[in-house]
Structure 1
Amino acid sequence: MHARIIGTGSYLPEKILTNDDLSKLVDTSDVWITERTGIRERRMAAEGEMTSDLALVASQRAIQAAGVQASDIDLIVVATTTPDVIFPSTACILQQKLGIPGCAAFDVQAVCSGFLYALATADNFIRAGSSKCALIVGAEIFSRILDWTDRTTCVLFGDGAGAAVLRRDALPGVIATELHADGRYTDILKVPGSIAAGAVKGKPYLEMDGPAVFKFAVKALGDAAESILAAQRISKAEVDWMIPHQANLRIIESTAKRLDLPMSKVVVTLPQHGNTSAASIPLALDTAVRDGRVKQGDLLLLEGIGGGFAWGSALVRW
């Protein structure tokens, strides 16, 4: 048996923070941000809005698009770096909000590659016969772990959520997934803070060595894409759409060039919501599905990389 994606959904908070808005907070400009990243605006969660709230709306839209009932879901996997609380998991909180107690529900933490880790997990649950209908979600509120005085990081990230419903099927949907990690690079992208004895220990804000991250990401993503295509004996020309993690337009363009893919075959939503970490791939996927770009039978290449470093790729037949 195989896992097939039968519905997608996404949600972006209402508040928009443009590059011009940011120029009033830190020493930056619309031109500086756009030229270096491709980002024009990002969304900010409202006061009191939690990661599970974003995940709930995205999940409801995915369930509706799939044509199933919430009660049909027998597995929930939420990819997030910004959970509501330390525990219980955001997946369990989402389960309660969906009103479907009883099924397995847990979080995965692989930062920006989290949705790929969730996809691989659900795919293997379904292939093993442990699940028939799974809900996977990438949801983040990165605005709460940013140092708004650091222009090198605060301009990059935004809040949002994306979700997909996978169902057991006789025909291949998720053709293959490949996951990787290398903990030797933990120091170049991290949030080193922790909670101990009722207080925050260490810096609770995102820290990044931008040039090092860029260099590693370009190579790792190119390698991951070529590796999964070779393993499945699929040529680059057969890929209809590349749907990458939306981190930086230059990284996306570099990966597409390595794969000989024109940018017309790449789904880019980065300008509208910035880097939403684990939410960025499902957000882009849902956008392309709903605007009609992704059609039945299309071959999709998904790929992403995040802190850890953790990265991966997936081949999906729509």
Structure 2
Amino acid sequence: MTGSRIASLGHHQPASVLTNEDLAALVDTSDEWIRSRVGIRTRHRAGDDEPVDDLAAGAAAKALAGAGLAPDDVDLVLVATSTAIDRSPNTAARVAARLGMSSPAVMDLNVVCAGFTHALATADHAIRAGSARRALVIGADKMTAVTDWTDRTTCVLTGDGAGAAVLEAVDGDGEPGIGPVLWGSVPTMGNAVRIEGTPPRFAQEGQTVYRWATTQLPPIARQVCERGGVDPVDLAAVVLHQANLRIIEPVARRIGAVNAVVARDVVDSGNTSAASIPMAFSKLVERGEITTGDPVLLFGFGGNLSYAGQIVRCP
């Protein structure tokens, strides 16, 4: 096997929508304040009866249908999440049970906002090693469950949702559709983004994260392009973690992807942590903004001050 490719994508969001005006009734904020600082207009909020595995299974079912596969055609399920409540069964096992799978390997990965790109690379490595032929990779988070609704600097950011990708092996002389990953972290600054305490609550040092993301990440993203054999000017799309529009726009510009569509799903979905990249990618494909074979940069960053990125080919 020479690698893997993305066969299909899917996404799922709760029906309930929380607007900036809704938030203004809870804390001292306004639509203008929120838009000017983070660019977010709305976000989706899951109810008490919609756990993380419910969101994940919804996205996974759509991705499987798009690939024309049955659940048992998949032998590895990876779920990137940092908001699952229970330790066991893990979210991947619960998704597999919901979908009716019989015997896949099931693992959760917690790399917070960079979780999906870490999970994508892990699944690609498993396929390259021959330990899986098809993998279901999901990013799913219920960030509103860990939100401090009294903190106007963070409660305006968060949303809930899930995105999924089906990966399959590329045999023989086929061209791999997922390039080498470049990943790492800054452990000494990991406390800048955190979900901790009892009950757990999301908090961050906003200015620290902004400076790190806008200054340190663009050269790393350009290295990702180099490893993937694609010049930034030839990218069809850039899908960054949907943290904040005021981070996404300068980082995309400094990468040098002048001809690329830049995903801005954060405007309508908020920051959905591990779900943000696969949801934004799936929506670009669904709307026809990119086409099969197009080179796309996926680049996750955030909690732990972790980052991971790769060049992929659009399914």
- In the superposition, the TM-score normalised over structure 2's length comes to 0.95
* Aligned mates of 1:179, 1:270 — CA distance in 2: 23
Matched, 1:65 2:66: yes
Q: Which amino acid aligns with 2:82?
A: T
Q: CA deviation at 1:101?
A: 2.6
Q: Identify the match of residue 220 of structure 2 among 219, 224, 229.
A: 224
Cα deviation code 1:107-166 (max 9, x no counterpart): 000000000011000000011111111000000101111110000000001000000000
* Aligned mates of 1:121, 1:287 — CA distance in 2: 23
What is the SS of the residue equivalent to 1:48? coil
Q: Which amino acid aligns with 1:133?
A: R
Q: Which amino acid aligns with 1:285?
A: F
Q: Which amino acid aligns with 1:179?
A: W
Matched, 1:190 2:194: yes
* Aligned mates of 1:220, 1:88 — CA distance in 2: 37
Q: Identify the match of residue 179 of structure 1 among 168, 176, 183.
A: 183
Q: CA deviation at 1:231?
A: 2.9
What is the SS of the residue equivalent to 1:282? helix
Answer with 176-185 or 66-75: which moved more.
Answer: 176-185
In structure 1, list runs of 5 or more residues that go unmatched. Answer: 194-199
Q: CA deviation at 1:178?
A: 1.2
Matched, 1:298 2:288: no
* Aligned mates of 1:103, 1:207 — CA distance in 2: 35
Q: Which amino acid aligns with 2:264?
A: V
* Aligned mates of 1:232, 1:168 — CA distance in 2: 18
* Aligned mates of 1:292, 1:16 — CA distance in 2: 24
* Aligned mates of 1:6, 1:168 — CA distance in 2: 10
> Is this contact kept in 2: 1:221–1:303, CA < 8 A?
no
- What aligned pairs does 1:79-228 form with structure 2 within 5 A after superposition? 79-169=80-170, 170-193=174-197, 200=198, 204-228=200-224
Q: CA deviation at 1:264?
A: 5.8
Q: Identify the match of residue 240 of structure 1 among 236, 243, 256.
A: 236
What is the SS of the residue equivalent to 1:161? strand
Q: Which amino acid aligns with 1:313?
A: G
* Aligned mates of 2:229, 2:91 — CA distance in 1: 38
Q: Which amino acid aligns with 2:131?
A: S
> Is this contact kept in 2: 1:10–1:283, CA < 8 A?
yes
Q: CA deviation at 1:266?
A: 0.8
In structure 2, list runs of 5 or more residues that go unmatched. Answer: none
Cα deviation code 1:50-98 (max 9, x no counterpart): 0000001100000000111111000000000011412221001111111
> Is this contact kept in 2: 1:84–1:90, CA < 8 A?
no
What is the SS of the residue equivalent to 1:53? helix
> Is this contact kept in 1: 2:159–2:271, CA < 8 A?
yes
Cα deviation code 1:252-289 (max 9, x no counterpart): 11112112234862121111110000000000011011
Alignment correspondent of 1:18: 19
Q: CA deviation at 1:22?
A: 0.1
